[in-house]
Amino acid sequence: MNATEPMVVHYVKDMDRALPFYRDVLGLKAEFESTGWSTLRCGGCIVALHILSAGMIEGAVAHAGLNLHVDDLDAAMEEVTGGGGEVRNVREAGGGIPVRIAVISDTEGNVFELRQFVGD
């Protein structure tokens, strides 16, 4: 087996609201856009946005999923809130963990993390 093309799928209620958040706020490169399925490139990973059909229920898997590196976490959090997202929590570096992490909700309630390496 040679598995390739890692993909994270987020289910969204409103593609017209979700796509600009990932494309314009997070700066991911859109590769395919439609009303039901859109894909964006983040380095070697694909982030797919899948429309949540009526009657479907989707919940976040605890502490698993999309985690993106940023150079300046504080500036990134401002961009997120300005673009319609929400900062749920910030964990500071310490105790042997060299990164600051912000837990973010996108415009559709999907949760992911932004991280900034700050060193030892």
Q: Which two tokens stand for residue 26?
A: 């997070």
Q: Which amino acid makes up residue 60?
A: A
Phi and psi, residue 43, nearest 5°:
60, -125
Show me where the domains of the chain are located. Answer: 7-53+65-117
Higher pLDDT, 31 or 5: 31
The pLDDT value recorded for residue 41 is 96
pTM of the model: 0.73
Tens of pLDDT, residues 20-46:
999 999 999 999 999 888 999 999 999
Segment (H or E) for 102: strand 99-105
Q: How many CB atoms are located within 10 Å of the residue 71 CB?
A: 8
pLDDT band of residue 4 (cuts 50, 70, 90) is: confident
Whether residue 84 has pLDDT greater than 90: yes
Q: Which CATH superfamily is domain 7-53+65-117 in?
A: 2,3-Dihydroxybiphenyl 1,2-Dioxygenase, domain 1 (3.10.180.10)
